[in-house]
C-alpha cells in the first residue's frame, strides 16, 4: 500500500495593518515553477544533482516529500541549495499519497519515470482549484512517444513498453505538459520535435538544465523545440535556478496599489516586458536601472524602480496569452492595479473557469468588481479599499492578490488560512514587512 504521511497543521492567518507606504529595495526570489520543474527533471540523472536557487516554499516541500517516498535521497545543503541522489530503483508503490494530492506537480513525474519503470501509477493531479483542468495535453503527447495512459477514478495507470521519437503537436501550449514531454524525450535516442510548445520561463529553465546534462535542444524560447535525445545521463552536476517573474510582478502590483516608490531587483525582464508596456500605457512611471544575467547565465534580469503614478484604465481588455503574451499567473495582479486606475477595466481570464470568480472577493475590501461570466470581470477603478476579514480562496495567485490589496486598505484586515500563499511565496510576510508593510503571523 502507498504510504500516507501525516502533514502538519498549516492553519495560519495574517493580520494586516494596511495603509502603509512601501519603500526601499526588495530582491526577487528564485522561481517556484522553476524549482518544481528542476526537481522533477533531476530524476533523469543517475548521478548526483545539486540545484541552487530552490525556493523554500510549501509546493517544493510537497514535491520533496513525494521524491523521498519513492526512494530519492534529498538534502538541503544550505538555504536555497539542494542535493538529489536517485535510488537504484524507484519505488512508486510507496508514493506519499497525502503529499501527492496537494500538488499538481505530481503529473510531471510521468516524463522521467517512463525511462525507469515499464508500468506505474500516479494519483490524480490537484493543486489550485481553478475549474476543470485536464491532463489531455500530457497524455496525447506522451502517447505519441509510445506511452499508454489509463485514467481510473483515483489514479493514472501508465505503461511504457517501448518508447520512440516522434513529431508532436501539443494539444495546448501548457507549461507542465511541455516540461513532461521534454523530460520524456530527453532519454529517447534520436530527434523529437515539439510544436506549439510553451516558451514560458519554467520551460526554458528545464531546457537549460537538460542542456547542462548533455541533451541538445534547438529552438529554446520559441514555440518549436527539437530535442536530440540521448541514451543515458549519469553525471554529477550543479545548476542554478533563475528568479521568479511572477514574484516580481507581485511586488510591482503591491507598490502600485499602495502608491509607493520601490526598487525590485533581479526581475526576469523578458517575462515582464509586455506587462510593463501595458502599465506604461496606463500611466505608470518606472525606470529600468540595469540589466544583467541570472546565475544560470541564460535568463536576463533587470532592476526596476516603480514610482508613484496616477493611472487610467486601458480602453482594451487585459488578458493573458502563452509567452510572449501577458503571463497567465501575472494576470491576477492587474486586478488591484485596475482598482487604483481611473475608469473601467475588463480583465479576461480565459484559461480558468473559476479564477475570475475569486477576484470578486476584493469587493469585501471595498472594490467595485462585477463578474460578467466565469472568465471576465469588470473593475470600476478609483474606489477606496477598506479593512476586512477574508478567507483565502483555494488558489495561489488570487490569495496573494487579496493580501497585497489589504496592504492598501487602511485599518486592520485578517486573511485566514494562508497555506495557499505559502505554497508559492517564501517568508512573504517578513519580506513585505522589510519594505514597509505591517503584517503579523497568527497561528
Per-residue model confidence as pLDDT tens digits over 200-253: 999 999 999 999 999 999 999 999 999 999 999 999 999 999 999 999 999 999
**Residues 330-348 pLDDT 10s:** 999 999 999 999 999 999 9
What sign has the CA pseudo-torsion 204, 210, 214, 217?
negative
How does residue 301 score in pLDDT terms, banded at 50, 70 and 90? very high
Q: CA triplet 54, 59, 62: central angle to 5 degrees?
A: 100
State mean pLDDT over 142-156.
Answer: 93
State mean pLDDT over 357-363.
Answer: 97
Query: What fold, for 13-29+243-442?
Result: UDP-n-acetylglucosamine1-carboxyvinyl-transferase; Chain (3.65.10)
State how beta strands 81-85 and 119-123 pair: unpaired
Task: State the first-to-last Cα distance of the chain, in angstroms, to the nearest integer.
Answer: 34
Judge whether 271 and 287 are in contact, CB under 8 Å.
no
State mean pLDDT over 159-176.
Answer: 96
Judge whether 131 and 163 are in contact, CB under 8 Å.
no
Q: Quote the CA–CA distance of 403 and 414 in Å, as a whole number.
A: 9
pLDDT of res. 7: 41
Q: What is the overall mean pLDDT for the chain?
A: 94
pLDDT of res. 101: 85
Judge whether 439 and 16 are in contact, CB under 8 Å.
yes
Question: Between residues 39 and 126, which one has the greater pLDDT?
Answer: 39
State mean pLDDT over 12-31.
Answer: 98
Q: Quote the CA–CA distance of 367 and 359 in Å, as a whole number.
A: 10
Residue 6 predicted with pLDDT over 50: no
Query: What fold, for 32-240?
Result: UDP-n-acetylglucosamine1-carboxyvinyl-transferase; Chain (3.65.10)
Residue 10 predicted with pLDDT over 60: no
Q: What separation in angstroms does the CA of 238 have from each of 49, 52, 235?
A: 6, 7, 10
Residue 50 predicted with pLDDT over 90: yes
**Residues 73-100 pLDDT 10s:** 999 999 999 999 999 999 999 999 999 9
Reported pTM: 0.95
How does residue 143 score in pLDDT terms, banded at 50, 70 and 90? very high
Q: What is the chain's Cα-based Rg?
A: 21
State how beta strands 148-151 and 81-85 pair: unpaired
Q: Where in the chain is the domain with CATH 3.65.10.10?
A: 13-29+243-442, 32-240
Amino acid at each position: 500500500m502507498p504510504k500516507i504521511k501525516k502533514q502538519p497543521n498549516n492553519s495560519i492567518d495574517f493580520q494586516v495593518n494596511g495603509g502603509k507606504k512601501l519603500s526601499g529595495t526588495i530582491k526577487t526570489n528564485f522561481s517556484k515553477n522553476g524549482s518544481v520543474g528542476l526537481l522533477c527533471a533531476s530524476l533523469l540523472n543517475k548521478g548526483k544533482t545539486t540545484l541552487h536557487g530552490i525556493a523554500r516554499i510549501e509546493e517544493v516541500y510537497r514535491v520533496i516529500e513525494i521524491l523521498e517516498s519513492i526512494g530519492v535521497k534529498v538534502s538541503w545543503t544550505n538555504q536555497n541549495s539542494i542535493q538529489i541522489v536517485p535510488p537504484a530503483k524507484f519505488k512508486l508503490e510507496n508514493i506519499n499519497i497525502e503529499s501527492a494530492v496537494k500538488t499538481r506537480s505530481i503529473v510531471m513525474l510521468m516524463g522521467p519515470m517512463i525511462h525507469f519503470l515499464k508500468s506505474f501509477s500516479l494519483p490524480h493531479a490537484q493543486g489550485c482549484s481553478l475549474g476543470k483542468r485536464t491532463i489531455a495535453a500530457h497524455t496525447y503527447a506522451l502517447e505519441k512517444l509510445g506511452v499508454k495512459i489509463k485514467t481510473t477514478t483515483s489514479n493514472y495507470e501508465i505503461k511504457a513498453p517501448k518508447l520512440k521519437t516522434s513529431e508532436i503537436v501539443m494539444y495546448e501550449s501548457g507549461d507542465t505538459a511541455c516540461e513532461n514531454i521534454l523530460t520524456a524525450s530527453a532519454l529517447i535516442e534520436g530527434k523529437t520535435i515539439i510544436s506549439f510548445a510553451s516558451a514560458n520561463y519554467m520551460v526554458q529553465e528545464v531546457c537549460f538544465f537538460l542542456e547542462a546534462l548533455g541533451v541538445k535542444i534547438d529552438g529554446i524560447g520559441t514555440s518549436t523545440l527539437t530535442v536530440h535525445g540521448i541514451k543515458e545521463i549519469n553525471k554529477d552536476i550543479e545548476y542554478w535556478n533563475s528568479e521568479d517573474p511572477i514574484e516580481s510582478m507581485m511586488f510591482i502590483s503591491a507598490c502600485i496599489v499602495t502608491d509607493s516608490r520601490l526598487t525590485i531587483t533581479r526581475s526576469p525582464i523578458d517575462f515582464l516586458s509586455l506587462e510593463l508596456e501595458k502599465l506604461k500605457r496606463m500611466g505608470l512611471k518606472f525606470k529600468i536601472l540595469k540589466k544583467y544575467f541570472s546565475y544560470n547565465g541564460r535568463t536576463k534580469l533587470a532592476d526596476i524602480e516603480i514610482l508613484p503614478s496616477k493611472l487610467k484604465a486601458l480602453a482594451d481588455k487585459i488578458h493573458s496569452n502563452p509567452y510572449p503574451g501577458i503571463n497567465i499567473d501575472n494576470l491576477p495582479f492587474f486586478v488591484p492595479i485596475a482598482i487604483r486606475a481611473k475608469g473601467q477595466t475588463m480583465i479576461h481570464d480565459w484559461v480558468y473557469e473559476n479564477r475570475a470568480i475569486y477576484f470578486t472577493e476584493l469587493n469585501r475590501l471595498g472594490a467595485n468588481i462585477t463578474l460578467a461570466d466565469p472568465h471576465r470581470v469588470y473593475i470600476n477603478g478609483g474606489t477606496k479599499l477598506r479593512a476586512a476579514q477574508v478567507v483565502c480562496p483555494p488558489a495561489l495567485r488570487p490569495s496573494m492578490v487579496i493580501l497585497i490589496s489589504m496592504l492598501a486598505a487602511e485599518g486592520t484586515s485578517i486573511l485566514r488560512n494562508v497555506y495557499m500563499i505559502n505554497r508559492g511565496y517564501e517568508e512573504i510576510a517578513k519580506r513585505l514587512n522589510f519594505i514597509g508593510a505591517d503584517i503579523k503571523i497568527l497561528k
